Structures are given as structure tokens and as C-alpha cells.
Amino acid sequence: MSAVAAKPQAGGAINPTAMAVGVVMLLIILGLCWYVSPGAGLMALVGVIVGGVLIGFGTHFVPVGGAPAAMGQAPGIATGVAMLAAGAGLAGLFGGAWAAEQGLLVATITGGVGGGLMMAITCMMVNFVYVFGMGIPAASGKVLNDPITGDSQKEFKSQGTEGHGLPFVSFVGGVIGGFLGGAGGTIIYLELLGLYETTLPATMNMLPAQVMPIAVAAAGIFAVGLFLVNAVLTAYNITGTIEGPHDPKFKRWPRAIVASAVASALCGFMAILIVAI
Amino acid sequence: MSVKIEVIEGGIPHQKIMIGGLVGTLVCLYLTYLNVLTNTEMFAFFGGLAMIIALIWGSHTIKVLCSYGIGTGVPSAGMIAFGSGVIAMLLDTKFGMAAPIVATVLAAVIGFILGYISNNILNMKIPAMVQALTEMAIVGALSLMGFAALITGGFTFAGLTTGEVSMLGLSISSTANSFIGGALIAVAFLLGAIAIQHPFNATLGPGWKQDRMLMLTAECGFLSMIAAAFMSFALISMEAAIISLVIAIIGWAYTYNQYICLSKRDAAAWLDAKPIPDVEGH
């Protein structure tokens, strides 16, 4: 049988030793960054870590159904965690980059709205297809009543399935997840863009206007790379499907926070080294 | 915890593919250095070959990792390979001649830490995880460097960030007309990321055969190389770009034919259906 269909039994347990090692690694990387580039570099790295953690945390809200959802046997959007997180985050990143000149706050919110909007449209169209195309109602398999509307779920759930469609709470979770992911991606992009704009002219002996394409493209591709790393690590944390914030798997988020922080710090440090050495 | 479901039956062992892939990629990357020695751009196509060798190695690594059900789908493995690889690759371009070696070491460090994070902090507990993520970060970095060498003829930071624009007979230096400044790296990123994850995703299952998957990887690699060779017309001389394009098209046609032959070999039955049937008597 296909290996991909089989789900690993990676539990929700937290490994305290590994978490401690992760925090120590994070501090070591921050120290290295302070040593290499104490001012602008360290600030940029902190921004990158905040952005990465937002992506990692936000992805847990997104209702991911995977292959079972494509057959109407599990709630959520019928694709993988990495694809959904990347879709929402990149949509947000493009929105945020467009507003980059309006300042950090406006651009971050714009990025968040872009990501949230993308997820809202996706969730709505998914429910359209489920309800009008496949003829199945939205019902959660993990809770008896929808935590937001209080609607009863059990009567609408088909036997032998884990629920189907996108209940209201999953929809809201998707929009929140898209918002956090888009905002996180935008913060990473803006921090790196600001760093490159100020430091690249000196390192490359060029005018600020000349390095602009390099700064934008390098910050953009670093943001995409960081985004995918964080999204896939979160996917590994969730292992398969999640319904949204009411799913028991949501409680695994502390692991993802540490993992995203260390991974973002490591990758962000590399992105800062390119102008620091 | 997790059960390994598919085992590698027959075929070349993974260690051999790994060593061969690493050595072959590095040799091909350094062969593009002939460009500097001979002061031409004719040897840019070696970058494309380096990229294809790295992808073949990488797709087999994905097979090793995804044989343990990781529960997230095969494409995510390709995405993390290039996500971590692009970060190592961009930093390494600063090291000039030593770039491919430094890329290997730095990507290995990034991949190893990411592997530790997923195996221990995220509690995946998959035996092949650390090694597979380490290998995939190296594959991502080296194949992006191969794309860079194919498109620009070199892999140094200066070469990747500056290009020349001819305007009214004048040639001026421009950062926008370059591999990084023109964001060609984003296209290369996805050309590689799709080519690395597609082969195992398409051939997995009980009828999986190693040679068929690796041939499909080579086919995807040459297909990406055709697209990259078209992009290289903007940055390197016409002759060098045509050499890359011809090699890519010949390689693609050969590997595509081979892949179809292998598919026919492994298929239960084969029917050569025509797109539009001849309807008689109407």
C-alpha cells in the first residue's frame, strides 16, 4: 500500500529535553547574531523570528483535510498543510509587499488581510463545492456542538466518517490562520528588506537606487524560503489533518512555536550573514 | 512508532546514489568554472547537468523519507528541500570559487538542525528524518546553484546580481537584469521544487520501480532545464544559450522516450488509444 496514506502515530507529547535544547539553540543563534551585527542585524533577526512564530502558530488554525477531505470523509480543505500555509502566506506576502512603503504596521495588517482574504475565499468555495457539488452538509467530527454558533453537529455527520465540509468554526479558524500567516510572512519580508536597503549599498559599492532590485528580490526569496520551512515544520507537527482551533491536535502548538523560532532564527541568521560578512 | 511500509527492493542502494549524486553535482558545478578559465560562456550547460544529477539524488532521498508515512504528503518534502536550500545557496555565493563546497557544508548544517527540530522537538521519531533533511537541504542548495550557473554562466554573488543592458548601442550595468535582481531565482526555485517532488509522487505505490522513478526525475530535470535555458537567453551569449537549449531538448526527448518505455514495461496492459477515434458510417 502507499506509504503516504498511512499516518504516523507521532503523539502529542512534548519532549522537554528537546524543547530545552531548542531554546538554547535559539539563544546561541541570537548571541552569534549580536556578535556579527549587533544593531540592525539583531533587530532584523528578532523580527524574522516573530514572523516565523506567527506563521507556525497561524497554520494550526487552518482547517486541513488532505486526501480524506477530497472524498468527503474528513472536514477541511482538501489539500496538505504545507500547500495551504504557503498559499495563504504568499498571498499575504504579496499584499504586504505592495504596501511596504506605508510603514511596518500598515503593511503587516495589509499582508494579514491578504492572507485572511485568500483563506476566506478558499473556505467559501470549498463549502460551495461540498454543499452544492457533492451534496454533503458541513459537520465536525471532533466536537458535539460548534464552539462559536453552538449548532449541533452529530445529526449531520455521516456514519463512518470523521465529519465533512467546513463547519463555521473551521471557517473562522481558516481566516484567523490566513491572517496570522500573511502578517508573519510580511514581517519577515519587511525586516529583511529594511536591512538590505541600508546595508547593501555599502557592501556592493553601489547607489541605493541600484541595489533596490537586489534588496527586493533577495528579501522576497528569503521570505518565501523561510515561509516554506516554517509551513512544512508545522505540517510535521500536525501530521496530516486538523479541523481548526477546536481540534485536539491544536494543543500541540507549543512545540511548533519552539520549532518555528529555532528554524526562523537559523535561516534568518543566514540571511543576515549575507550582508554582515 | 511509525512503521516503514515500503522497502527498497533491488535497484541501486541509497548510499551509492547519494555519493554519486554529491560527487557528480560538484564536478559538474566546477566544470562551469571553465567559463572563467576560457573567458567564454559556452560551459554554462554543465550547470543544468549538475542540477539534474542533484535532482535525481534528491528524488531518491524523498523516496527514502516518504517511505515512512510522514502524513503530510510528498510535495512538502520538496518544498522544505528548496526552502532551506535557497537560504544556504544565497549566502554561499559570497564565497566565490569555494561556493559549491561551502554550500554543501552550510546546507548540511541547516538541514541537520531542521532534522533535529522535526525529529525531537516536533516528536516525529522517524529514523531517516535527520539524514534525509540534511541531504535534501544540500540538494536544494546545489540544484539552485546549478540553475544559477546555467542561467548566468557562473555562481558568484557579483555575477548573480549584476547584468548588462544594451540600450541604443550602449551597454550599461544594471542590477535589475540579473539572476537575483530580476527574480529569476524565484522561477528557478519552483522549477526545481516541482521537479524534485513530482517523480516519487507520481510513481509511488505497490508497482514502484527505482529505475522508472529516476528516469522520470531526469525527464523533469531536463524539462526544467529547457525553461531555464530559455531564461538564459537574457543573461548569457546567444551561442551558449543555444548550446544549453539543444542539450536540454535532446536530453528531454531521450529521457521522455525511455520513461514511456519503462512505463510500458511496468504496466499491466497498454492500449495505444488515438485522441479522436475514426468514426465510420456517419
B179: left (phi over 0), alpha (psi -120 to 50) or beta: alpha
Q: Give the separation between CA B36 and CA B138, rounded to whole angstroms.
A: 25
> Per-residue confidence of chain B (282 residues) as pLDDT tens digits?
344 544 555 678 888 999 999 999 999 999 988 888 888 888 889 999 999 999 999 999 998 888 887 777 788 888 888 999 999 888 888 887 888 999 999 999 999 999 999 888 888 888 888 999 999 999 999 999 999 999 888 888 777 777 766 666 666 677 777 888 888 888 999 899 889 989 998 888 888 888 899 999 999 999 999 999 998 888 888 888 999 999 999 999 999 999 999 998 888 888 877 777 667 765
β-strand partners of B68:
B4
Closest Cα in chain B to A263 = B114
Q: Give the separation between CA A181 and CA A168, rounded to whole angstroms.
A: 20
β-strand partners of A164:
A139
Complex ipTM value: 0.86
> Which H/E stretch holds residue B165?
strand B163-167
Single-letter residue type at A64: V
CA distance A111 to chain B (A): 20
Closest Cβ–Cβ partner in B6, B72, B87 for A239: B72
Question: Are A262 and B113 inside 8 Å of each other by CB?
Answer: yes
β-strand partners of B167:
B170
Q: How far apart are the first and last CA of chain B?
A: 63
Q: Give the separation between CA A62 and CA A67, rounded to whole angstroms.
A: 15
Residue with cell 576560457: B38
The Cβ-side half-sphere exposure at A116, using a 13 Å CA radius, reads 14
Q: Give the separation between CA B205 and CA B266, rounded to whole angstroms.
A: 12
CA distance A248 to chain B (A): 16
DSSP code string of A177-230: HHHHHHHHHHHHHHHHHHHHHHHHHHHHT--HHHHHHHHHHHHHHHHHHHHHHH
List CB contacts (< 8 A) between A213 and chain B: 175-176, 178, 181-182
Cell numbers standing for residue B107: 546546507
Other CB atoms within 10 A of residue B199 CB = 29
List CB contacts (< 8 A) between B90 and chain A: 218, 221-222, 270-271, 274
> Which H/E stretch holds residue B111?
helix B99-116
Counting beta carbons within 10 angstroms of the beta carbon of residue B271, is it exposed (0 to 12), middle (13 to 18) or buried (19 or more)?
A: exposed
- Going by C-alpha positions, the residue among B224, B233, B275 that lies closest to residue B252 is B224
Contact indicator for A126, A154 with CB cutoff of 8 Å: no
